[in-house]
Amino acid sequence: MNTTVIKRRLYLADLEVTAKDVYIKKDFADKTAETLDKSGLAQMQARQEKIKTAETLDTSGLAQMRHNLYKTNLDTNKDTSMLDFSSTNFSQNVLQKQNQDIVANASEFLVSNGNAGKIPLEAETIKLISLWSANDPKKMEKMIGIIFNAKKASETFITQQTGKPTTIFLDNYEDLQHDITVSLRRTFNAIRNKQDKKQKVNPENYIFGAMRNTFEVWYSEYLQSLS
């Protein structure tokens, strides 16, 4: 498509002539006709003038061509640089493959390992969440969010109980990370059993409560180990 546009603009640039250019050409042609039979010098001058005029027009056309090409490139770059990964731009088949890839490899790119900006959970926890997310990254994100909301709620509760500001740094406590994995596995199984028996259960609230209990029990044992 771009090639067609460029060719059209090149063609128009070659034909671009102003009213002044037409007048100059006509006046020059008349004068040349009057003096052509007087000497060979006039003929030579006429040829030189034609060459000069053609060069002027050609240079003008070249400048216009370069302007159009530059503008076209800018427009093309502007269009193609706009990336959009929203779901509406992919087929259901591709979306399914993308989601499967994200979920399958989540334990590699989400786990912290001391790197800032990643989630301070052990790889086993992420793998477990991936297994129970039905290949849906949004469900994974939701479950991870519940864990950290429970952590924040536990920190607030502990602060109120002890009178001291409390922050639990998961990166520093591998035993707590393992407890989270064990608690999640137990919780997922319990939720499934209830749902299979057609019992009413709110999975989000159930996970949140189980995680709060995990954090608070761990912290209580942690304080006892310090005394």
Q: What is the pLDDT of residue 8?
A: 34
Looking at the DSSP bridge assignments, the partners of residue 119 are 111
Q: What is the pLDDT of residue 36?
A: 45
Residue-wise DSSP of 80-134? HT-----GGGS-HHHHHHHHHHHHHTHHHHTB-TT-TTSB-S-HHHHHHHHHTTT
> Is 133 exposed, middle or buried, given 0-12, 13-18 or 19+ CB atoms closer than 10 A?
buried
In order along its 227 residues, the chain shows pLDDT tens digits of: 444 333 333 333 343 444 444 444 445 445 544 544 455 555 555 555 555 555 554 555 555 655 565 555 555 555 556 787 888 888 999 999 988 998 888 878 787 555 545 788 999 999 999 999 988 999 999 999 999 999 999 999 999 999 999 999 998 999 999 999 999 999 999 999 999 999 999 999 999 999 999 999 999 999 999 98
Plot region of 200 (φ>0 → left; ψ -120 to 50 → alpha; else → beta)? beta
The domain limits of the chain are 2-80, 91-226
Phi first, then psi, for residue 90 (nearest 5°) are -130, 150
What is residue 164's DSSP assignment?
Answer: S
Q: What is the pLDDT of residue 105?
A: 86
- Work out the widest C-alpha separation in the chain, in whole angstroms: 121
Q: Are 118 and 112 in contact (CB under 8 A)?
A: yes
Question: What gap in Å lies between CA 227 and CA 222, rounded to an integer?
Answer: 9
Q: Are 139 and 106 in contact (CB under 8 A)?
A: no
Give the CA distances from residue 142 to residues 92, 145, 160, in Å, rounded to whole numbers and listed in that order.
22, 5, 27
Contacts of 95 (CB under 8 A, 6+ apart): 87
